[in-house]
Amino acid sequence: MDVSFLGGPGPQRGVGVVAPFDFALDRELWRWTPDDVSLHVTRTPYVPVEVSLDLARVISEHETLRDAVSTLTEVTPEVVAYACTSGSFVGGVMGEHAMCEAMSRAGSVPAVTTSGALLEALVELDVRRLALVTPYTVSVTRALEEYVAQAGVTVTGCAYMSLTRQIWKVTYREVVDMARRAAARGRLGAADALFLSCTNLPTYDVIPQLEAELRIPVISANQVTMWAALRRLGTRAVGPYQALIDTSARSGTGTGTGTGIGTGIGTGIGTGIGTGTGSALPAAGPVVPTGSVLPEGQEPPDVRGVHGVSDAQGVPGAQGVSGVPDEKQQEGWT
């Protein structure tokens, strides 16, 4: 059969993706990718550390990122993206900028990170008040709150799961349950948008449904990463009925009315908007997943008696073994 008439394959534009060694959602990234763009994915080297601030620091070292980007140069991507939320917010806003510079120098192309893309998306949607969903421990979640506060964004509510590994196994049902808790109006008022953090957290199919229910834009780590990377190519991500990507979907979500946010430390936003995180994390402690997330025979942590208890930064006090970091207390969660 003569197929020469097809004339293909057509030209492809490339996006290089540097992902953590435990990243398991390659297929989800592709769902935001148009047909004329290819993703070239590489991973950071394995380290025997569970999801924590320590891991975030290790996998975001500049030498690690430069080495990863260098493995992509032969396929000549037009932009490189670091697809890791905690790894790109652990050093704050200035640290994120430095990561982009290091990757850009290594690949001689523009570079984006998930956390930098988050701030871009908040500017695009004019968001000043944000609700958060994370699969992280308390300490990692607190670092995310501090990161967005540096950009002048107030966190109105937060739900977290205290997971330290295999985050990709979280179900859509669990994501939706956490989203509802985080977006519930509290004493800090209503959120302008909801962010689903972590590139290992599955989110693609729940975004339109949550936006329809909550009536605010819902953005996720993988979504903002692909949206920002593809913007560097002058093209659009594929995301029907997702407010960030499909502007026609914004009319019913009530996206902000302010003047936008700053992307540098201390730049602030609007007038009269605070930058503290308040008591954004729920006083009742981590959200215990409804699926088979705990190992057989292991009981969820006891959260009785902690309602209203918080530390100086508004994060619930640690439970369980006194003086043991929350990451250690939660070992074994999957």
Domains and CATH numbers, the chain: 13-292 (3.40.50.12500)
Q: In whole angstroms, what is the distance from residue 20 CA to residue 314 CA?
A: 30
C-alpha torsion sign, points 321, 51, 198, 88: positive
| Model pLDDT for residues 244-273, shown as the tens digit of each residue | 999 888 876 654 444 344 443 333 333 233
Residues present in the chain in total: 334
- By the 8 A CB rule, do 80 and 109 touch? yes
| Model pLDDT for residues 305-315, shown as the tens digit of each residue | 222 222 333 43
| Model pLDDT for residues 275-294, shown as the tens digit of each residue | 333 434 443 344 433 332 33
Place of tokens 């057509």: 10
Backbone angles phi, psi at 95, to 5 degrees: -65, -40
| Model pLDDT for residues 199-242, shown as the tens digit of each residue | 999 999 999 999 999 999 999 999 999 999 999 999 999 999 99
Strand partners, 160: 134
pLDDT at 300 over 60: no
Q: For residues 44-57, give the mean pLDDT.
A: 95
Can you say how many angstroms the Cα of residue 16 is from the centroid of all Cα atoms in its chain? 18
Pick the more confident residue, 168 or 260: 168
Backbone angles phi, psi at 190, to 5 degrees: -80, 150
Q: For residues 130-147, give the mean pLDDT.
A: 98
Q: In whole angstroms, what is the distance from residue 266 CA to residue 207 CA?
A: 31
Backbone angles phi, psi at 203, to 5 degrees: -145, -15
Three-state SS letters, the chain: CCCHHHCCCCCCEEEEEEECCCCCCHHHHHHCCCCCEEEEEEECCCCCCCCCHHHHHHCCCHHHHHHHHHCCHHHCCCEEEECCHHHHHCCHHHHHHHHHHHHHHHHCCCEEEHHHHHHHHHHHCCCCEEEEEECCCHHHHHHHHHHHHHCCCEEEEEEECCCCCCHHHCCHHHHHHHHHHHHCCECCECCCEEEECCCCCCCCCHHHHHHHHHCCCEEEHHHHHHHHHHHHCCCCCCCCCCCCCCHHHHCCCCCCCCCCECCCCCCCECCCCCCCCCCCCCCCCCCCCCCCCCCCCCCCCCCCCCCCCECCCCCECCCCCCCCCHHHHCCCCC
Pick the more confident residue, 331 or 67: 67
Confidence at 115, pLDDT banded by 50, 70, 90: very high
Residue 120 to residues 53, 241, 332, Cα–Cα distance (Å):
23, 19, 35
- By the 8 A CB rule, do 29 and 83 touch? yes
Residue 202 to residues 42, 89, 160, 231, Cα–Cα distance (Å):
19, 20, 15, 22
pLDDT at 322 over 50: no
